[in-house]
Every structure is written in C-alpha cells, then in structure tokens.
Structure 1
Amino acid sequence: MTTTTPYPPDPQAPHNELPGRIMAREMAEQPAVLRRILSQGAPAIREVAEQIAARAPRFVLLTARGTSDNAALYAKYLLEIRLGLPCGLTSMSTTTAYGARPDLTDVLVITVSQSGGSPDLVASTRAAREAGAITLAVTNNPDSPLAGVSEYHLDIMAGPERALPATKTYTASLLTLYLFAEGLRGGTGAPAKVLPDLAERLLARQHEVRTLAARYRFAERMVITSRGYGYPTAKEAALKLMETSYIPALAYSGADLLHGPLAMVDNVSPVIAVVTDGKGGEALRPVLDRLRGRGADLVVIGPRHQVEQASAGFVLPTEEVAEELQPILEILPLQLLAYEVTIARGQDPDAPRALAKVTETR
C-alpha cells in the first residue's frame, strides 16, 4: 500500500510565487550544497567509511525508491567498478510483504532516502540489521526513523527541499556516495573539489537549455539512453520529465535499447543520449550510430565531439572531471530541461499533480 504525506509548507515562502520558482531556487542552490558537503560533511563521511571498511563487507545491497533509487544505482556502479565489491539492488517486498529473512551476515546494506520516513525502507532496514547486516542510511534528515534504525548514518546536508521534484538532494546524494566509496578504498575524494565551480558554470547556461526545451513542448513521448555511469542519469532525467511535464519518458541502457525498443524509434522520435566521456561513452557509440541511422531526433548531453554529430545538444566540460564524477554534472542541464519544458507547457513544476514530498510505501 502507498500513501502520501504532504510536506509542511515553507513559512518563509511568499504566497504569490510564480510557477516553478521553488524548484528554480533549489536547482540554483546545488553548487553551495556541493561545497558544504566537501567542506563540512567529508570528514564524517570518511570516518564512517573507515569504520565500515574495517569490517570488510563481502557484498553490498542497495535499497531506495524514486530519485534515491537512481542515486543507489550510481553507487552500484561506483562500488563494483572502483572497489570490486559485488552489489545488488533490493526488492523490499521480499521482506516487507513476503517476510523473507535471508542471512545477511557481513553484508553491507545501504538505504538511500531523502526523507528517511518511508515505512518500507525503515522496515526492510530493520529486518536487514536483525539478519546480521551492516546497515547504513544515507538521508537528508539525521533525525528520521530510517537513521534511527540504522547502525550508521550519512547526512547529505542539502537543507530543506520544498519543491516536489528532487534536485539538490539528488546531486547531494551522489556526491555523498562518491565520497563514501572513496573512503572505503582509502581515498580522499580530492577530484570532487572541482564540482561546485563547474556546477555553477553549467547552471548559468539555462538559456541554452531553454532553446532545447522548445523541441519538446509538444512531445508525446521521449527516449533517454546512456551506458555505464551515465545510465542512472538517464533514469533520473526520465523521472524528472515525467513527474513535472507528464511526458512519458522511457529510460534505457544503450545495450537494452538495441534489444527491441529501438524498433519504436523513427525520424520523428525525440531521443536524448547522455554520453559520459570514458568507457561508458565508448560503449554507447554503436547505439548512437544506430540512432543516427534511423534518423532519430537525437540530442546529446556530453562531450563536444558527440554533440556536434547530433541534431542538437549541451556540451559538458567532461575534460575537467573523471568519468565517475560526471553524473553529478550531467543531471544539471537535464533538471533544467524538465523545468523549462514544464513551464513551456503551462504547468507548475513545483507541484506535480497526484504527488507529495514524502511517499509512504508499505
């Protein structure tokens, strides 16, 4: 069963705010949030990582819903590629609905949740801890029920997020998970120090995104694809577009796109490709060739040379940041795109219909 709990109104918010003003303000806060994590949160993240590394977990299970699930998928790529730790994304209903109790001795269970309040996340984490798991909660609320039932907690330090579409909590979760993964392997996370300034520069290019958004004002369907580290970005971008503009947006791994869904792409089909500069982008290259061959309306978010071969795109400064950090920047123009498309369609991205800030799934 799923119920929704409205987020408390912001007493500071003016009553006559224009549509999308809250989401716009929170997107603009992201560079400051990234700086806060790097300057204030990093020591605590490293300490937790060192304590967990000393316990030598043999496997990692990641648990989340919605936007946080896409952050968890990013963590899966990080932990498997950079640490060689096998990871899985959990199905919470196996414990909450079916009552399964697997042996989780020496397994690290990471639960990612903005609010830390969803009953199924709390129940599955409690069950995991009782089954012998090392439990870590990654939330924006250190006083949440989820933080309370977990052995360890990481605060993503994003501050209150009032718009229903999660923006700053997503990028804050990604950076927190990156620093945690680096801490597990004894790293300092120093390469992430460039992110706040780069994020500021990207968000200042909103006029470019507004031009792209005009392509999708009357779109009836969209496909978003990527591979490797970019795949969580594709899934999060699709979620943002669906929950704000109500455009059905389908996210596929490039490999999966070739196994059937490519048949629905034709010369009027809008496709967005998130191209990381690295091995994921190299693996996506045959997919891009197939999309061009089908005459798809292809927009690329990524390196300049890939954007120049597409119908249009948004150039990312990929040469300034490692592939595993690019998702923290890739999502920014796509958040702006969801915002601009929604405004162009005459809707309010701050308050999508039928949604609430805290979704209580049981």
Structure 2
Amino acid sequence: MTTEPTMPNEPTMSTEPTKSAGMTHMRREIEEIPLAVARLLDGSGTVLTEAGRGIRERDPQFVVTVARGSSDHAATFMKYAVELTAGLAVASVGPSIASIYGAELRLGGSACLAISQSGKSPDIVAMAETARAGGALTIAITNTADSPLARASDYAIDILAGPERSVAATKTFINSAVAGLGLMAHATGDEALLAALFELPEHFRKAIACDWMTVLSDTIEKQKSLFILGRGPSAAMANEAALKFKETCGMHAEAYSAAEVMHGPLALIGPDFPVLALAARDASEPSVAEAADSLAAKGAPVFVTSALAQRVVRLPHVATGHPLTDPLTLIVSFYMFVEAFARHRGLDPDTPRNLRKVTETV
C-alpha cells in the first residue's frame, strides 16, 4: 500500500435543501444527502485518515463485513470496492455466528467492517466484539458516535448523516457507503477516489433532479413484481432498491446480477414483468446493457441507466467520472422515484406497515 492521499478543498455548501410543510421525512432526508456527505467528509476526515492508516499498517490478508438491512447493502458495495481497490478478498459474516451460536472465528490478519446506523443492535455488536477478540482490526461505521458498536471497535467512523426520521434509510445508506470509500481511499493512497468523493455533493444534487417517475410509474403501477439488475458495485444498489420497493411501496421486487438473471429467473420474463437495470459507468456497463436488450427482446418492459442499450427505455442518470462513485448517484435518483411512487400509490413512505426505524436483532 502507498502513502495516504491529501484532502482536496471541501466543496461549498451554502444552500439548504428544499422543505415544505407537506414534505415527507423521506423526501426531506433524500434532499439532505448532498449536505450530509459534505459534512461527513469534513467532520470525519481525521478518523477516516487514521483508520485508513491503521488498515495500511496492519496490512490485512482479507476483510470481513458485519451488517443487516440497508447497512448490509452498503457492506456489499464495500465488498466490491475493497476487492477492486486493495485486491483483498471480502466475506460477509453472519452476525448470528456470535450472538446465537457463540462461535469464535479465527480472524487474525484480517480487518472487520461493521456497519450499523444505530450502532446498538446486539447481534452486530456481538459479532464486532468476537471479531476483535479473534484478532481482527475492527472498524465501525455508524451514525451514532457513542454507541455500543463504536465502543467495541478499534476505530469508529461517525457518518454524521444527522437524524433520520423516516423508517426507510436513505442518507445513512449513502453516507455509510461514502465513508467506506473514504476509508479505502486513505488505506490505499487513492488520490483519484478521494477527489471523486469531494465532487459527490454536486453530483447528488443533479441526481436528485433526475425524473424517473414520469418514465417508470405508468408501467410499474400495473404490475405486482419486478426485477432490479446490477453488476459489480451496482449490484449492491439493486439490492437496496429492491428493499425500498418492499418497504415503501408494498410491492415485491427482486434483485439479481445481470449475469445471474439469465439463468433460472429468466422463466418469469415477459410483457407483464418489468425490469429496472442499474448500470454504472464501469467495466460492467456493456454486459448490463446487453442483458437489458436481451430481456427486452423477450417482451419485458426494460428501463436502464445506460446509453449502450438499444431496445429499452433509457432513464436519466448522472455520471460521476469515477467507477466507484457512479453507482451512488443511481440509488439517489431511485430514492426520489420510490418516495414519489409510494405516495402515488396512496402510501406514506415514512411509516411502512409492520416496520420501525431501529430493529435490534439478537
């Protein structure tokens, strides 16, 4: 690993996000994402630098992640980011290994990334403690600075997203992913990645302005289910998008790799089964576009964030100029769509049925 990167100048953030009396918490929190990311990069820059240095000095042989829900989707995103930037294999460890089964893992020579917005779910905390006892360098990524998870870890990165009142996580997901990328930028000395992170607030403002509702709603509202595709880092965004459909819209959605969908799941494809393909500007984009065209040829209504596909409906999207930040603008545009689509269906995205903001699993 090389020397750590220097910090570019922080982008100017002088405009507050739009607010109105009738706005949902979810909508307000999506619009807060640019400011939240700028706050993270500024306020947690020191600990990101220190934790990155800690990883570089420990020189781990592999990485494990511990998380659930949207945080686990951020961990999946980090799996690809770590493997692509540091060349280290990454494995997801089930929190129940520690909390229910009481197993002790031999994790000497590893780094453990534990992600939890509340930082107090007993199973996540237990697994982080077990990882640390097993020899791992433990790093917590959390929105609660003085949480049990932060105290159980060698380094605690406060994502500084601010209060999130909507049950559906949005800005905490984005800030967790950005924190993970910042961590790896410092660990590997990746100046280009760190510079790309400081450009994200402006890209997120543009992503918020992308209108997917006009393009998607008429087709999707007539259906009961859909596929959401991605590949590489954007596969994590597909997982996150599918979860948000279930949470906010009461609609079934299933995430697949654009490669895996061409196997068994292909049997469901037809005129009444829409597909949303989240293609980032990276090495996977041609294959995602090819899969999208193939599914469209079988009669499915397909929507894709790529100009490479020919038989589909193309969605407006924001290119960031870096393959690892590009997927993040896609999910921000999706968040704006799914919040509006939930209201269109007569639902309140802030209060999904059967759910609450913090779930503390054992």
TM-score by length of 1: 0.90
Determine if contact 2:40/2:175 at 8 Å carries over to the other structure. Answer: yes
**SS of equivalent to 1:54:** helix
Residue number among 204, 208, 219 corresponding to 2:209 in the alignment: 204
**SS of equivalent to 2:146:** coil
Distance 2:180 2:91 in 1: 15
**SS of equivalent to 1:177:** helix
Determine if contact 2:289/2:308 at 8 Å carries over to the other structure. Answer: no
Distance 2:90 2:129 in 1: 19
User: Which residue in the other structure is 2:26 paired with?
Assistant: 23
Residue number among 88, 91, 106 corresponding to 2:91 in the alignment: 88
Shift of 1:211: 4.3
Shift of 1:217: 2.3
Residue by residue, what CA displacement relative to the aligned partner does 1:252-291 show, whole Å, maximum 9, x if unpaired? 0112111200110112211100011121112323322320
Shift of 1:148: 1.1
**SS of equivalent to 1:57:** coil
Residue number among 108, 114, 133 corresponding to 2:111 in the alignment: 108
Shift of 1:75: 0.5
Distance 1:113 1:258 in 2: 33
Residue number among 134, 144, 149 corresponding to 2:152 in the alignment: 149
User: Which residue in the other structure is 1:269 paired with?
Assistant: 273
**SS of equivalent to 1:138:** strand
**SS of equivalent to 2:360:** strand
Determine if contact 1:209/1:314 at 8 Å carries over to the other structure. Answer: no
Shift of 1:141: 0.6
User: Which residue in the other structure is 1:358 paired with?
Assistant: 358
User: Which residue in the other structure is 2:140 paired with?
Assistant: 137
Residue number among 238, 248, 263 corresponding to 2:252 in the alignment: 248
Shift of 1:209: 2.6
Distance 2:339 2:284 in 1: 27
Asked whether 1:330 is paired with 2:330, we answer yes
Distance 2:172 2:214 in 1: 23
**SS of equivalent to 2:108:** coil
User: Which residue in the other structure is 2:11 paired with?
Assistant: none
User: Which residue in the other structure is 1:349 paired with?
Assistant: 349
**Structure 1 unaligned spans of 5+:** 1-15
User: Which residue in the other structure is 1:317 paired with?
Assistant: 318
Q: Which amino acid aligns with 2:341?
A: V
Determine if contact 2:30/2:170 at 8 Å carries over to the other structure. Answer: yes
User: Which residue in the other structure is 1:33 paired with?
Assistant: 36
Residue number among 193, 209, 219 corresponding to 2:198 in the alignment: 193
Determine if contact 1:203/1:332 at 8 Å carries over to the other structure. Answer: yes
Determine if contact 2:47/2:156 at 8 Å carries over to the other structure. Answer: no
User: Which residue in the other structure is 1:229 paired with?
Assistant: 233
User: Which residue in the other structure is 2:261 paired with?
Assistant: 257
Distance 1:310 1:100 in 2: 51
Distance 1:344 1:105 in 2: 51
Residue by residue, what CA displacement relative to the aligned partner does 1:334-359 show, whole Å, maximum 9, x if unpaired? 11121121111100001101111110
Q: CA RMSD in A?
A: 1.6
Cα 1:124/1:108, change in 2 over 3 Å: same
Distance 1:148 1:278 in 2: 37
Shift of 1:59: 0.9
Residue by residue, what CA displacement relative to the aligned partner does 1:112-150 show, whole Å, maximum 9, x if unpaired? 111111110011111111111111110001111111111
Distance 1:122 1:276 in 2: 33
Residue by residue, what CA displacement relative to the aligned partner does 1:198-237 show, whole Å, maximum 9, x if unpaired? 111221234x434422332232001101111110010000
Q: Which amino acid aligns with 2:293?
A: D
Shift of 1:323: 1.1
Asked whether 1:293 is paired with 2:297, we answer yes
Distance 1:213 1:160 in 2: 30
Determine if contact 2:99/2:122 at 8 Å carries over to the other structure. Answer: no
Q: What percent of counterpart residues are identical?
A: 34
User: Which residue in the other structure is 2:51 paired with?
Assistant: 48
User: Which residue in the other structure is 2:282 paired with?
Assistant: 278
Q: Which has the higher contact order (CA 8 A, sep 6+)?
A: 1
Q: Which amino acid aligns with 2:298?
A: R
TM-score by length of 2: 0.90
Determine if contact 1:265/1:296 at 8 Å carries over to the other structure. Answer: yes
Distance 1:257 1:264 in 2: 10
Distance 2:314 2:341 in 1: 15
